[in-house]
Structure 1
Amino acid sequence: MMDRAEAVATETHDPDLERLRAYLEANNGIRGLEILERRDARHAVEIFNRDGFVVVADVLDSGQVEFLANGCAEVAGQILALDEGRRGNRGSHRYSFGGSSLTRSQLHRPEWQMLLDIPVVTEVVSGIFGSPNYVLRAASGDFCLPGAVEYQPLHSDVRDWRDDATTPFSAFHDPRGQLTIRDLPCPYVCVNFLPQDVTRLNGPTRQIPGTQHARTPIPTLAEEPEWMRLSTVCPAPAGAIMVRDVRAWHGGTPNVSDAIRSIPNLEFYAPWFREPIVPGISYDDYRKLSEHAQRLVRHCVADSSQPLVTGATLRAP
């Protein structure tokens, strides 16, 4: 297993790195970031609808945090064994848990399966969709290493329909050209789980509030104003969740700490929205889940006659 406190790849006495570290320590983070308590599920839905994301603390207990952190470290170790140069698959020193899996998901892992039965998540996501009849898209997330010193460009994780030659993972299309996916109620939610504190220095996600319905072009790194680069969801404690409307603009930021930052996730489609789903759990493992979890993952189950081939890859098929 990889050491979860892998050393910083860049020389710590690099003056440019030291200046960046000091600047982020002094300025990084959304001012007035509201972190809710578990009992505030209704308020969480209100903030989510306003900002396109919300943070709720103390969702995982200490045992669950440790179990999830160890699972993330084990999976990260398998991925990093394939990438000695740390080129990453989401930029240098930056990796997708799903994009680094042969199944495009980590749903075959017990640590991610555990997350299916967290009551606060059920309550918040049901509130967002106005129904408990949503389904799992995938179990994924990302991690970044010390030495990830570049900003990831702002982006959105869902878009209007593109032809199958471009991508198999798109669905919404208005032939009249009047509506885009940004005009709809939230179609697709990502719930990130924090197995460690997220700080100003270890690569917090930057979120641009209220952009889930924005039709304006997403700025490039060259165009992005400094306040957006500092609009990061931190500090946030281990055990918290960050619930995101994937249409909202977001991106990765530098990890200038001395440890890996992981944010595993579950991704859910609204009851009325679907895009193609790749099987992520074997039929035998599916049968071991709770009734609630089985209902969520029913579209992610491999055929009972076929084994699910799992493993690490730097480029998902």
Structure 2
Amino acid sequence: MLAEAAPEIAAQRAYLQAENGIKGLEILGANDVERAVDLFRRDGFVVIADVLTADQTAFLAAGCNEVASEVLALDATRNGNRGSHRYSFGGSSLTRSQLHRPEWQMMLDIPLVDTLVTAIFGSPHFALRAASGDFCLPGATGYQPLHSDVSDWRGPGVSPFSSFHDPRGQLTIRDLPCPYVCVNFLPQDVTRLNGPTRQIPGTQHSRIPIPSLEDEPEWMRLSTVCPAPAGAIMVRDVRAWHGGTPNVSDAMRAIPNLEFYAPWFHEPMVPGIAYADYQRLSERARYLTRFCVADSGAELRTGATLWAP
């Protein structure tokens, strides 16, 4: 076991088992959409249990394991592409997405997800940005720096994938309604030990600088979204500060996702699904992925990589 590999790992396990996790974390049921929207707007994230069935959870877990195996075959030293033993599903795909895989396509047709994202945006006319997520392995003993997944446009070559810019310098993307939602799906329990995501509540509108790892207070390191059950979803405003944490368990932790743009927000995108596969999706899924589909005559090159082009 990893805990027996070194005394410092055993000590880290014991500390995290005792202290890790947001105190009083509220995990909602699948029928409480109004409360979910309230918590999302207050904290920048919300967790809802029992969204996936047992069969859907198992199907998704198997897909995550298959993708991880393909990626790890390229990285014998486990350097990762988001830090040691830590990987992005999108960053490990030639398309920057896993939308070409049936497991991620399945997530497009979860009714509660559609209902909740519609309620957050106040409109059903949102669009998929990508189908991605991340996974971390035992041995990811460090912390990923806190960060936000979207920022203001500062110039070509500096922030080419951020589309909001106020030339008056008065508004930032943090002053706006939520422009971009990430829905993470849990194919396994997320525990205090297997790399739960840390979320700093209420930071989605904060303009103060995000602290470095050296300056981050201990309470933030322990502000993790756990424990949370397999089959749940974690819905995040990507502006909120978040980061990866140690996986000192004995198994991989995966959180595949779907990422959605608000109807009024858009950034440059690359195709993630071939036209023929797109045609086989449900009508609603085709609408959601309307900006992610390759042209009918184009060949979509898929496969694993350590660094997406």
Which category of TM-score, normalised to the shorter sequence, fits these structures? over 0.9
Give the equivalent residue in structure 2 for 1:156.
148
Asked whether 1:201 is paired with 2:205, we answer no
Identify the match of residue 226 of structure 2 among 216, 228, 234: 234
| Alignment check: 8 A CA contact 2:153 2:160 kept | no
Give the equivalent residue in structure 1 for 2:69.
77
- In 2, Cα distance between equivalents of 1:212 and 1:178: 17
Deviation at 1:223, TM superposition (A): 0.4
Give the equivalent residue in structure 1 for 2:56.
64
Amino acid at match of 2:116: V
Identify the match of residue 46 of structure 1 among 10, 34, 38: 38
Give the equivalent residue in structure 1 for 2:127.
135
Deviation at 1:163, TM superposition (A): 2.2
Identify the match of residue 165 of structure 2 among 167, 170, 173: 173
Deviation at 1:13, TM superposition (A): 3.6
Deviations along 1:76-118, one digit per CA (max 9) or x if unpaired, are 0000000000000000000000001000000000000000010
- In 1, Cα distance between equivalents of 2:265 and 2:162: 11
What secondary structure is seen at the aligned counterpart in 2 of 1:142? strand
User: Residues 13 and 78 of structure 1: is their aligned pair in 2 closer, same or farther, counting only changes over 3 Å?
Assistant: closer
Which runs of structure 1 show a deviation greater than 2 angstroms over 4 or more consecutive aligned residues? none
TM alignment of 1:84-123, pairs within 5 A: 84-123=76-115
| Alignment check: 8 A CA contact 2:53 2:231 kept | yes
What secondary structure is seen at the aligned counterpart in 1 of 2:260? strand
Give the equivalent residue in structure 1 for 2:295.
303
Amino acid at match of 2:44: G
Deviation at 1:166, TM superposition (A): 2.5
- In 2, Cα distance between equivalents of 1:16 and 1:279: 44
- In 1, Cα distance between equivalents of 2:26 and 2:248: 24
Give the equivalent residue in structure 2 for 1:282.
274
Deviations along 1:26-54, one digit per CA (max 9) or x if unpaired, are 00000000000000011100000000000
| Alignment check: 8 A CA contact 2:273 2:294 kept | yes
- Normalised by the size of structure 2, how large is the TM-score? 0.99
Amino acid at match of 1:230: L
Deviation at 1:277, TM superposition (A): 1.1
- In 1, Cα distance between equivalents of 2:259 and 2:270: 13
Give the equivalent residue in structure 1 for 2:216.
224
Amino acid at match of 2:106: M
- Normalised by the size of structure 1, how large is the TM-score? 0.96
Deviation at 1:170, TM superposition (A): 1.1
Give the equivalent residue in structure 2 for 1:293.
285
Gaps of 5+ in 1: 1-6
Backbone CA RMSD of aligned residues: 0.8
Deviations along 1:175-234, one digit per CA (max 9) or x if unpaired, are 000000000000000000000000000000000000000000000001000000000000
Amino acid at match of 2:39: I
Amino acid at match of 1:57: A
- In 1, Cα distance between equivalents of 2:155 and 2:56: 41
- In 2, Cα distance between equivalents of 1:164 and 1:179: 20
Give the equivalent residue in structure 2 for 1:3.
none
Deviation at 1:249, TM superposition (A): 0.2
Give the equivalent residue in structure 1 for 2:174.
182
Gaps of 5+ in 2: none
- In 2, Cα distance between equivalents of 1:315 and 1:167: 18
Identify the match of residue 237 of structure 2 among 226, 236, 245: 245
Amino acid at match of 2:210: I
Amino acid at match of 1:138: A
Asked whether 1:267 is paired with 2:259, we answer yes
Deviation at 1:75, TM superposition (A): 0.2
- In 2, Cα distance between equivalents of 1:200 and 1:126: 31
